[in-house]
Amino acid sequence: MFWRSLKERGIEAAIHVCGVSSIALVALIFVFLLKEGFSLFRSVPLNDFLLGRSWYPISDPPRFGILPLILGSCWVTLGAILLAVPLGLGSALFISEVAQGWAKEALKTGIELLAAIPSVVLGFVGITVLAPIIKHVFHLPTGLTALTGSITLAFMAMPTIVSITEDALAAVPRSYREASFALGATQWQTMHRVLLPAARSGIVAAIMLGIGRVIGETMAVMMVTGNSAVIPNTLLRPVRTLTATIAAEMGETVRGDEHYFALFAIGIVLFVISFVINVAADLFLHQERT
Amino acid sequence: MKKRQVVLALGLIFGSGIGCAQAEDLAGSIQIKGSDTMVNLCQAWAEAFMSKHPDVTIAVTGGGSGTGFAALIAGTCDLAASSRKIKPKELTLAQKKGAEPIEEIVALDGLAVVVHPSNPVKQLTLKQLADVFTGRVLNWKELGGQDAGIVLLSREVNSGTHVYFKEHVLDVDASQQEFAPQALLLSSSQAIADEVASNTSAIGYYGMGYLNPKNATVAVAKSEGDPYVLPNEATVQSGEYPISRPLFLYARTEQQGLIKAFLDFAKSPDGEQIVRSTDFVPVVHTNP
C-alpha cells in the first residue's frame, strides 16, 4: 500500500515536471528571442525596421527595413490560403459526407501521407516541375514567384485544413443531418446550409491553423520564391519571406552583430504573427465547445 | 658482449623507428568550415591528406564564408575557408575572443559571368555589368540583345561570392552600389547554373568551377577599349581577367602541428594538382 502510493506520487511528479517544463521552455525561448531581438532597437528605430522599404543587411551602413519581407510573407500566405481553403473544404466534405467504404479510407490515408512529405521535397518538386510551368503559362521572365510558393504551400496547408474540418464535420450530431433530409433537403443543401454552419467554428480554426502552417514554412518557400526583397504588387513576382530571410542569412551573422539582432527581431515578428493566429484559432475552437 | 651489442642495435633500430613514427605520423582531427565555393576543393584536399595520414580525420562543411568566420570566432572550427578577406568587424570580434586569425592564400578563382547560350550578348565591360546588376539597365536590348527584360541572379548574402561581386563589380567606382532589389537571391551556385541553363533572359555569376556547356560565358573587359577576356587559368593567374579573387584559409592562431602540415600540403605540388582538378587556379608564385 505504501509502495503503491509512493509510486503514484513519483509518476505524478514526473508528469508534472514534463508539463511544466514544456511551458518553461516556451517561456525561455520567448525571453531569449525578446532579449536578442530588442537589442536591435537600440540602434534601429522600430518604425524604420517595420516600415523600411529596403533590406540590405550587409551594406555599409546596413538597412534593415522588413516591409518587403512582411508583404512577401503575406502575399505567399494569401495565395496559398485562397488555393488551399476551397480545395481543403471540398475534400473534407467529400471524405466525411459522400465517400463510402474503401474510398473514404484511401482518401484519408492519402491526405495523411501528403502531410508526411518533407517540405524540402515539395520545394524540390516546385523548383523543377512547377516553376517552369508557371514561367511558360504566364510568359514570365522567371518561374520563381510568389504564386509558385503559394501553390507549393497550399499542398502543405491542405492536410491540416482537411483533417480538422473533417473532425468538425464528424462532430455535427447525426440528428441534424436526419432532420435536414426529413425536410426534403438534398445532400448538397444539407452540406452547405446545415453542416457547414454547424461546424463553422471548427472550420475557421482549421483555416487559422493552415495559415499558421503556411506563414511559418521555410524551406520550400526559400527554394521556390526567388527571394528578392522587392515590395510585391502581384503574385507573379519573386518575393522574399520573413522565414526564408532568417534561414538564408543566419549563417552569415556573427553573434552580437546588428544583423544577428535583426534576424532575431524578425523572429519576434513571426512569433507575434503565429501567436495571434493560434490564439484566434483557439478562441474559435473553444466557442464550439461552449 | 655480443648479446649486449645485439640488444643495443635492436634498441637503436626500434628507437629510430619510433622516432620516425612520431615525426611522420600525424594524428588528430581538423574542422574546416566556410565558403561553399571551396567545399569541393577542401574536401579533395582533405581526402588526399587523410589517405596519406590515416590517423587524421578532417571534416569539411560549407555554409558560406561568413559562416566560416562566425565558427572560427566562436572556436567551433580550426580552419575557416573563405572566398573573401576577413572584415575588420570580424577581426575585432575574433581578437576579443582571443583569436589571432592567420590568413593564407591557397588558390585563385575567376568569377564567371554567365548567360543562356542563345543570348547574343557575349561580352560586357565592368561598367555595363554594374549597370545590369544594380538595375540601371533593365532590358537586353540596351546591350545589343533581344527585346527582353533582364533576370538577375545573385547568391544569398551569406555567400562570399555575393560580397566579392558587390565590392568588385558593383562598387567599381567606390560608390556603394547595391544589387537591384528585384535580383533573385539563390541559395547555391548550382541553382544559378540551373536557372541560367533554362532561362533565356537570365544573367548570373559564380566561381569558374561551376562552368558547364549549358551556360555561355561572357567575356569581360575592365573598361571600354580594353580587350574582352574570358576566364581561364592563364588569364586569372596573370590578372588579365578582371573579376578574379584569391581563396583563403584562415587559421585561428599561428598554425602549428597538424594544421600547419595540412596548409603546407595544400600549397605543395600535389595540393596544386588538386586545385586544378577542382577547376580552380593555383596561386602563381608556387607554380612549378
Whether the predicted pLDDT of B171 surpasses 60:
yes
User: What is the pLDDT, as a whole number, of residue A86?
Assistant: 94
Whether residues B104 and B155 share a domain: the answer is no
User: What is the pLDDT, as a whole number, of residue B287?
Assistant: 43
Confidence of residue B145 (pLDDT cuts 50, 70, 90): confident
Whether the predicted pLDDT of B14 surpasses 50:
no
Whether the predicted pLDDT of B282 surpasses 60:
yes
Chain A residue at shortest CA distance from B65: A252
User: What is the pLDDT, as a whole number, of residue B22?
Assistant: 41
Output the CA angle B204-B208-B214, nearest 5 degrees.
60
For the record, the C-alpha cell of B94 comes out as 575574433
Whether residues B92 and B136 share a domain: the answer is no
Residues 6+ apart with CB under 8 A from A46: none
Confidence of residue B17 (pLDDT cuts 50, 70, 90): very low
Chain B residue at shortest CA distance from A255: B70
Helices (H), B30-102: 39-52, 65-74, 88-96
Q: How far is B23 from chain A (nearest CA, A)?
A: 38
Answer with the residue of higher pLDDT: A137 or B65: A137
Q: Which of A142, A238, A253 sits opposite B70 (nearest CB)?
A: A253
Mean pLDDT over B278-285 rounds to: 79
Domain that holds residue B32: 2-108+246-286
User: What is the pLDDT, as a whole number, of residue A242?
Assistant: 93
User: What is the pLDDT, as a whole number, of residue A284?
Assistant: 79
ipTM above 0.90, yes or no: no
Cα–Cα distances in angstroms (integers) from residue A76 to residues A71, A147, A152, A234, B86, in the given order? 9, 7, 10, 10, 37
Q: How far is B71 from chain A (nearest CA, A)?
A: 9
Residues 6+ apart with CB under 8 A from B59: B29, B30, B31, B32, B46
Which residues does chain A have within 8 Å of residue B178's beta carbon, measured at their own beta carbons? 54, 56, 59
Whether residues B16 and B118 share a domain: the answer is no
How far apart are the two ends of chain A, measured CA to CA in Å? Answer: 41
Contact (CB, 8 A) for B185 and B173: no
What is the DSSP code string of chain A? -HHHHHHHHHHHHHHHHHHHHHHHHHHHHHHHHHHHHHGGGGTS-HHHHHH-S-EETTSSS-EE--HHHHHHHHHHHHHHHHHHHHHHHHHHHIIIII--HHHHHHHHHHHHHHHHS-HHHHHHHIIIIIHHHHHHHHT-S-S-SHHHHHHHHHHHHHHHHHHHHHHHHHTS-HHHHHHHHHTT--HHHIIIIIIHHHTHHHHHHHHHHHHHHHHH--HHHHHHSB------SSTTS-B--HHHHHHHHTTTPPTT-HHHHHHHHHHHHHHHHHHHHHHHHHHHHHHHH-
CATH of the domain at B62: 3.40.190.10
User: What is the pLDDT, as a whole number, of residue B11?
Assistant: 45
Whether residues B176 and B203 share a domain: the answer is yes
Q: Which of A57, A226, A252 sits opposite B184 (nearest CB)?
A: A226
Mean pLDDT over B162-178 rounds to: 78
Whether residues B153 and B215 share a domain: the answer is yes
Whether the predicted pLDDT of B170 surpasses 60:
yes
Q: Which of B64, B69, B178 sits opposite A56 (nearest CB)?
A: B178
User: What is the pLDDT, as a whole number, of residue B288?
Assistant: 42
Whether the predicted pLDDT of A100 surpasses 60:
yes
Whether residues B129 and B177 share a domain: the answer is yes
Contact (CB, 8 A) for B248 and B81: yes
Q: How far is A249 from chain B (nearest CA, A)?
A: 6
Confidence of residue B167 (pLDDT cuts 50, 70, 90): confident
How many Cβ atoms are within 10 Å of B146's Cβ, its own excluded?
A: 13
Whether residues B219 and B280 share a domain: the answer is no
Q: How far is B261 from chain A (nearest CA, A)?
A: 29
Interface of A with B (CB under 8 A): 54-60, 68, 132, 135, 141-142, 144, 222-223, 226-230, 237-238, 240, 248-249, 251-257
Residue B122 burial (CB < 10 Å; 0-12/13-18/19+)?
A: middle
User: What is the pLDDT, as a whole number, of residue B18?
Assistant: 43
Confidence of residue A280 (pLDDT cuts 50, 70, 90): confident
**% of chain A exceeding 70 in pLDDT:** 98
Which stretch of A245-254, B209-218, B260-269 has the lowest confidence by average pLDDT? A245-254
Chain A residue at shortest CA distance from B199: A142
Q: Domain total for chain B?
A: 2
**% of chain B exceeding 90 in pLDDT:** 21
Whether residues B225 and B186 share a domain: the answer is yes
For residue B205, the SS3 value is: strand
Query: Do residue A59 and residue B184 have CB atoms under 8 angstroms apart?
Result: no
Answer with the residue of higher pLDDT: B24 or A212: A212
Q: Which of B67, B149, B182 sits opposite A252 (nearest CB)?
A: B67
Whether residues B103 and B113 share a domain: the answer is no
Residue B118 burial (CB < 10 Å; 0-12/13-18/19+)?
A: exposed
Instruction: Specify the pTM.
Output: 0.75
Chain A residue at shortest CA distance from B62: A251
Whether residues B238 and B145 share a domain: the answer is yes
Whether residues B272 and B218 share a domain: the answer is no
Cα–Cα distances in angstroms (integers) from residue A173 to residues A44, A96, A199, A206, B71, in the given order? 55, 13, 10, 19, 59
Whether residues B77 and B9 share a domain: the answer is yes
SS (HEC) of B82-110: ECCCCCHHHHHHHHHCCCCCEEEEEEEEE
> Which pLDDT tens digit goes with each residue over B86-132?
888 888 888 888 888 888 899 998 889 999 999 999 999 988 999 99
A–B interface: beta-carbon pairs under 8 A: 84
For the record, the C-alpha cell of B226 comes out as 580594353
Q: Which of A68, A249, A257 sits opposite B158 (nearest CB)?
A: A249
> Which pLDDT tens digit goes with each residue over B209-251?
788 899 999 999 988 888 999 998 888 888 889 888 889 999 9
Q: How far is B77 from chain A (nearest CA, A)?
A: 14
